[in-house]
Amino acid sequence: MSNTSLENTGLATKMIHAGAEPDPSTGAIMTPIFQTSTYVQSSPGQHKGYEYARSQNPTRAALESALAIIENGKYALAFSSGVAATDAVIKLLSPGDEVIAASDMYGGTYRLFIKVFEKFGISFKFVDTTDPANVSAAITSKTKLIWIETPTNPLMNITDIAAIATISKQAGTILCVDNTFASPYLQNPLDLGADIVMHSSTKYLGGHSDVIQGALIMNDSLLKDQLYFIQKSCGAVPGPFDCFLVLRGIKTLHVRMKAHCENGVIVAHYLRNHPKVDKVFWCGFEDHINHEIAKKQMRGFGGMLSFTLKDESIEAATKVLSSTKLFSLAESLGGVESLINHPASMTHASIPREERIKNGLTDGLIRLSIGIEDAADLVADLGQAIG
């Protein structure tokens, strides 16, 4: 259904109908997987809007229209991975430009910034964005982009998107928000003043741990033109089958997220009351330092949390990580099945240890992606693993 006819509908209706138009040639209710590299022209330059599949593909177009609708944006672009989407945003910049980025964020984003882009003359300043004053203080005339992630991976820190958007507008910089953890069901950064929303669609949007993909959503047409140019020129586009999978995932995003949130509440409270557990990092607790901001900008607290044991040794954490039966030990998150992860050695191993520890990501930290199995089974599994 078109963007305009879904404008005033509820979230569930948007998730199910966004981007879905019956196929004009057959009436097929589901968007076909247009597995083609090129399109036949009737005479030179005479085509149906599709020339070559790196530039345009109808399955991808349907997905991009769905992504725009569910993030309350005008435009969306799909990429072959989350980091490919991030890469495209940084390619808006030129040597000499500065980026202010959150000190606590996905390890792969950090690696891309430092190991790939610094050598092209772009500099990155990492600050604790949970206090907007730190962002204001770091801005210089060279700052062109502010990159935040909220909630953060893996410490579940919350940054006030509206406050950072105000600072960014005053400074004339672009604000990009990695919205992977919240998903569009729980949070819409464009509504809060962000310029670009980035997703690892691999996670909640796909939802079934069967695809790698990324997305950017925006309202500004100039920004869209620049990012589309980068998308087609650099070529990190997703294949049509992968677009179909994410399009299908989006249809159940609202039911899955509701279930992730419900299980998240139960597991968070169970862990907090467990005698062997030290800290539980989850923004749904009323005494979480930024709980009020989380409540203001999110519609729920999601299915991600991290915790530490009172026994801080790596051995104790390793025992839990290797003993769960329902929680599979794996990187990634956001699928229907529960996963357990050790950020220090897995998802965040690319961040130097001193940097990690400084930001509170200790060696014993355990991260959970709480799936949508029966909550009682998840709690029992964690119980037997913690012992």
Ligand X SMILES: *Cc1c(COP(=O)(O)O)cnc(C)c1O
Annotated active-site positions, please?
54, 106, 178, 203
> Three-class SS of residue 143?
strand
Tokens of 51: 């020339």
Instruction: In whole angstroms, give the CA distance from residue 22 to residue 28.
Output: 5
Instruction: In whole angstroms, give the CA distance from residue 128 to residue 158.
Output: 10
Q: Are 238 and 213 in contact (CB under 8 A)?
A: yes
Residue with smallest beta-carbon separation from ligand X? 82
**Beta-bridge partner residues of 217:** 76, 197
R_g over Cα of the chain: 21
> Three-class SS of residue 101?
strand
Smallest distance, Å, CB 132 to ligand X?
A: 20
The secondary element (H helix, E strand) that includes residue 148 is: strand 143-149
Which residue, 16 or 186, is less far from ligand X as judged by CB?
Answer: 186
Which residue, 139 or 174, is less far from ligand X as judged by CB?
Answer: 174
Smallest distance, Å, CB 353 to ligand X?
A: 21
Which residue, 200 or 362, is less far from ligand X as judged by CB?
Answer: 200
Q: For residue 153, what is the DSSP state?
A: T
Smallest distance, Å, CB 185 to ligand X?
A: 16
Instruction: In whole angstroms, give the CA distance from residue 129 to residue 141.
Output: 19
Q: For residue 43, what is the DSSP state?
A: B
Which residue, 83 or 190, is less far from ligand X as judged by CB?
Answer: 83
Residue type, 185: Y
Smallest distance, Å, CB 105 to ligand X?
A: 7
Could you tell me whether strands 174-178 and 196-200 are parallel, antiparallel, or unpaired per DSSP bridges? parallel
Which residue, 105 or 386, is less far from ligand X as judged by CB?
Answer: 105
Which residue, 149 or 160, is less far from ligand X as judged by CB?
Answer: 149
The secondary element (H helix, E strand) that includes residue 277 is: strand 277-281
H helix intervals, 2-130: 11-17, 58-70, 82-90, 107-111
Residues lying near ligand X in the complex (CB under 6 A) are found at: 81-83, 106, 108-109, 149, 153, 178, 180-181, 200, 202-203, 212, 214
Torsion of CA 87, 92, 98, 101, to 10 degrees: -40
Smallest distance, Å, CB 383 to ligand X?
A: 27
Smallest distance, Å, CB 139 to ligand X?
A: 23
Instruction: In whole angstroms, give the CA distance from residue 184 to residue 189.
Output: 9
